[in-house]
Amino acid sequence: MANKYKKRHIKKESCIRNRENKYAPIIANSFISFFMRAVPLGREDESTAIYKLLKESIEEKEYGVLYVSGMPGCGKTLTCNSVLEIVKENYPDVTIASVNCGSLILPSDVFLAIHQIITPSVTQSSARMLEETLKYQPYTIILADEVDMLITKNQHILYGLLELPSLCKNLYIIAISNTFNLPDNKLTGKVRSRLGWNRLNFALYKRSQVVGILKEMHPEYEFTDEALEYCANKICTLNGDIRKALQIQKHAMAHALRNDIKKIEMEDMDRAIKYVYHSMQSSFIRSLSEYQKILLGIVARKGYSFPDSLYVDFRATLSLKQFPLPTFKEFQFLVEKMVEIGVLKGRSNSLAVETDYIPDELDIIFEEEENDYLEVIPI
């Protein structure tokens, strides 16, 4: 059998059309209409490329890794999940396991998280234990989002995950990262060899795509063309995060509803943009995991605190919420990560940590987040 890690850069559909592919009919005739409706607007090319790769891999029993990169909010996760929904419908025997590595307490938890999707009764796992389970599956696709979070000092966790396809030979991994040059800048040669050469980068959304997405998302509201273009220009000039555009649109609609505005114009959109970007701190806090939010709230109230006393309060709060309790080692890793991203601050000659966030402000942010759950806007 040919080397399954052969260099095969993933090309977008505009580049694929001229390539010989015996599976080309999958994006033709009656299937094309369904497929294009099922995948995110503006990401049809990327969706087609991913689906073709997975279809070929499933039918030819190939294995490997696809590295998907791009800026936050450019539709990587949504696109991959949409494609996997189509894969699951067309290949019901294929097991699909999705895990967000950013929500794990420890990087090593990735193996148990995946293992429990396949075998819910397991309570512990490792790379080798997961390998033994995967070998008995007809075919498995693992979606590992925020795979950057698995990088440790010796990188053995990430290596153990990426090594699984070559060991099981019935497995494909989609590894999603916000870092385009992660393989070249942060990974050892050993890990890069397991990552392979199948790579797909998501470019930032174009202005026309942002406008199209905003129009499609809420056709029941009337926006002037100038308002939509103004929002799209703002987003594309800054970071291209489509989630931010949808958040701006949401606030513009809420303002229109409160003030009985029939058509949302540029000045309404400008007001919404200013509100959203003034609440960047709120967005950052909301992006934290539930464990990180709980710990941040405790530190904000206690002030300058040492790990031992924090751990006691942390476990007590988790018990009240009926969350799984971490070990002290897992707790220490969580604290280190929060210091690393700047949520908590350490001092040079002490193990204690503190934060600049004010408890009352955090309470408002958490309350707003709970209220937002009442109205879920798909991204």
Least Cα distance to 294 among 338, 262, 327 occurs for 338
Please list the residue range(s) of the chain that carry CATH number 3.40.50.300: 39-201
Tens-digit pLDDT string for the chain (379 aa) = 444 434 444 444 433 333 233 334 444 455 665 677 788 888 999 999 999 999 999 999 999 999 999 988 899 999 999 999 999 999 999 999 999 988 888 889 999 999 999 999 999 999 999 999 999 999 999 999 999 888 888 899 999 999 999 999 999 999 999 877 788 778 888 998 888 889 999 999 999 999 999 998 888 889 999 999 999 999 998 778 898 899 899 999 998 988 899 999 999 999 998 887 766 677 788 888 899 999 999 998 888 788 888 999 999 999 999 999 999 999 999 998 898 888 898 765 567 788 877 787 687 677 766 665 444 444 3
334-368 residue pLDDT tens: 998 898 888 898 765 567 788 877 787 687 677 76
Please list the residue range(s) of the chain that carry CATH number 1.10.10.10: 288-361
The residue assigned the tokens 């943009």 is: 273
Dihedral of the CA atoms 188, 191, 193, 197 (nearest 10)? -100
User: Could you tell me which residues come within 8 angstroms of residue 246 by beta carbon, excluding any fewer than 6 positions away?
Assistant: 213, 214, 217, 377, 379
The residue assigned the tokens 């309570």 is: 123
C-alpha–C-alpha distance, residues 32 and 146, integer Å: 30
What's the burial of 349, exposed, middle or buried (CB within 10 Å: 0-12/13-18/19+)?
Answer: exposed
Least Cα distance to 273 among 248, 243, 238 occurs for 248
Find out whether 77 and 176 touch, Cβ atoms under 8 Å.
Answer: yes
Residues in the chain, how many?
379
Helix 242-258 / helix 225-238 crossing angle, nearest 10 deg: 140
Find out whether 175 and 68 touch, Cβ atoms under 8 Å.
Answer: yes
297-304 long-range contacts, Cβ below 8 Å, gap at least 24?
Answer: 297/359, 297/362, 297/366, 299/344, 299/353, 299/354, 299/355, 300/355, 300/357, 300/358, 300/359, 300/362, 301/359, 303/354, 304/352, 304/353, 304/354
C-alpha–C-alpha distance, residues 237 and 300, integer Å: 34
What pLDDT score does 377 carry?
41
User: Could you tell me which residues come within 8 angstroms of residue 235 by beta carbon, excluding any fewer than 6 positions away?
Assistant: 205, 210, 241, 242, 244, 245, 248
DSSP count for the chain of H helices, then E strands: 18, 9
240-297 residue pLDDT tens: 889 889 989 999 999 898 889 999 999 999 999 888 776 667 778 888 889 999 999 9
Is the backbone of residue 221 left (phi > 0), alpha (psi -120 to 50) or beta?
Answer: beta
How is residue 339 written in tokens? Answer: 């210091």
C-alpha–C-alpha distance, residues 178 and 182, integer Å: 9
Q: Judge: domain 207-284, CATH 3.20.20.60.
A: no
What pLDDT score does 229 carry?
96
C-alpha–C-alpha distance, residues 261 and 196, integer Å: 53
Please list the residue range(s) of the chain that carry CATH number 1.10.8.60: 207-284
User: Which CATH class for the 39-201 domain?
Assistant: alpha beta
C-alpha–C-alpha distance, residues 189 and 168, integer Å: 22
Report the CATH fold assignment for 288-361.
Arc Repressor Mutant, subunit A (1.10.10)
Pairing of strands 350-354, 345-347: antiparallel
DSSP letter string, 274-301:
HHHHHTHHHHHHHTS-HHHHHHHHHHHH
The pTM is what?
0.67
- Amino acid type, 364: I
